[in-house]
Copies of this chain bind each other. A is one copy, B any other.
């Protein structure tokens, strides 16, 4: 199943690294909650880093209802990018240095999730990251849900771009006595730091210990 290739989603550079495949796109979107949302105000670009989550063919993000990003991108065109750096690619010439990465860029009009659906969406956000966590938290209050706006985007216009593997040098440079290779990069989670007021008999939940990123 592929997304339709459009003028703004087609890959112009290194298009052999691009993909419109929905599974490829979803895997990248699901590998990290980190994304960037671009929007325009009076035709000028703005950019806000935030967290996203995916449910089926929709991507969601949230914020305070009073935030500029939320107010200005509701019902407006947005461009969302998820980018995971996997390595520095070190070539024999500066020109062929590169990066290994997984990236997805999506385009479309952001819609506001209706009030009656917000609590379910927020639960899905938390459960998607830490299964079981909503069951142990103090329940959300009506006021908290009210102060939060959730925006959504149908995943229908966009593409993935992925680079893997070693540097690709010019043929005539391959035998030069210059070190070339890849420095792999990954996100690691260190041991959780318990907040100082947590009662001593409260254990770190399994969903925290099991969590990984990337």
Assess whether B208 is in contact with A81, with CB atoms less than 8 Å apart: no
Assess whether B46 is in contact with A43, with CB atoms less than 8 Å apart: no
Task: Return chain B residues, CB-CB under 8 Å to A140.
Answer: 93-95
Assess whether B193 is in contact with A205, with CB atoms less than 8 Å apart: no
Q: Tell me the complex Cα distance, A103–B47, Å.
A: 11
In chain B, what residue has the closest Cβ to A196? Answer: B166
Interface bits A79-120 vs B (CB < 8 Å: 1, else 0): 111010100101011110101010101000000000000000
Assess whether B187 is in contact with A137, with CB atoms less than 8 Å apart: no
Q: Any chain B CB within 8 A of the CB of A21? A: no
Q: Any chain B CB within 8 A of the CB of A6? A: no
Assess whether A137 is in contact with B178, with CB atoms less than 8 Å apart: yes
Q: Which one, B46, B141, B190, B197, contacts A175 given CB within 8 A?
A: B197
Task: Return chain B residues, CB-CB under 8 Å to A122.
Answer: 94
Assess whether B187 is in contact with A182, with CB atoms less than 8 Å apart: no
Q: Any chain B CB within 8 A of the CB of A16? A: no
Give min CB distance, A76 to chain B, whole Å: 8
Q: Which one, B175, B176, B186, B208, contacts A90 given CB within 8 A?
A: B208
A23-31, A53-61, A64-72 - interface stretch: A64-72
Interface contacts beyond A38-B47, A186-B190: sample of 4 additional A-B pairs, CB < 8 Å, sorted by A = A93-B139, A138-B178, A175-B199, A177-B199
* 15 sampled A-B residue pairs with Cβ under 8 A: A8-B41, A12-B66, A12-B67, A47-B47, A90-B208, A93-B144, A94-B134, A94-B140, A166-B196, A175-B197, A175-B199, A183-B211, A184-B190, A184-B193, A186-B187
